[in-house]
Amino acid sequence: MRILIAEDNQNVAQEVAKGLRDASHDVELANDGRSAIALVETNTYDVIVMDVMMPVMDGYTAVQHIRRQNITTPVIMLTARGEVEDRVRGLDCGADDYLTKPFSMVELLARIRALGRRQRGDASPTICLRDLVLDIATRTARRGARKIELTNREFALLEFLMSSSPTPVSKAAILEHVWDQHFESASNIVNVYIRHLREKLEVNNEPTLLHTVRGVGFVMK
């Protein structure tokens, strides 16, 4: 998806942009509300990530202006202000979702995917690979008629792998997207969770779907 990030804190903006680009999204940046409006009025975006507290023009005002122009692009308000009144104000201004700092990149990506599905009108938010079906809405997984019980972390890992299929993903990418942090290269946590997934995905001699790509990482195919 093509995503606009309006954020005056350059460290936050660059970190979010990197996470979105690593997830194969096209990203543009604006450092205040007025700049964001100028970009929105001349370009088409799938999602706008809008900070509230910005110089020149705040996020609330920018979203109100965008909605007055009949621009319906989904907006996620991204802010350190987490009071109920602030969330209500953001939604009343025309935002579609609200995420409070500090936040997990995994959650931001999930919310962006949800808004993208809503915008497209997808009736069934599922990812399928052969007889493996992952339902994002109900957070359930099945292989054929067999239900697969997954922890939240295992579900996030499987979603990332299936969303990336058939492209292999590295351990570093998995750590950033699923754990939203960097571990030392010697960390074995990815291998541990990959083993857990394999044990749950492949029982009774079911065909292998999760493969190791030597020197690269892992791939679902």
Taking only the tens place, the pLDDT of each residue in 45-65 is 989 999 999 999 999 999 999
Topology of domain 2-120 in CATH is Rossmann fold (3.40.50)
What secondary structure, in 3-state letters, does 59-90 show? Answer: HHHHHHHHHHCCCCCCEEEEECCCCHHHHHHH
Res. 33: pLDDT tops 60: yes
Res. 184: pLDDT tops 60: no
Domain-wise residue ranges, the chain: 2-120, 126-220
Topology of domain 126-220 in CATH is Arc Repressor Mutant, subunit A (1.10.10)
Bridge partners, residue 141, by sequence = 134, 148
Taking only the tens place, the pLDDT of each residue in 113-149 is 878 766 665 545 788 999 999 987 778 899 999 999 9
Integer CA distances (angstroms), 40 to 114, 152, 154, in order? 21, 35, 37
- pTM for this structure? 0.58
Integer CA distances (angstroms), 206 to 169, 193, 201, in order? 23, 19, 8
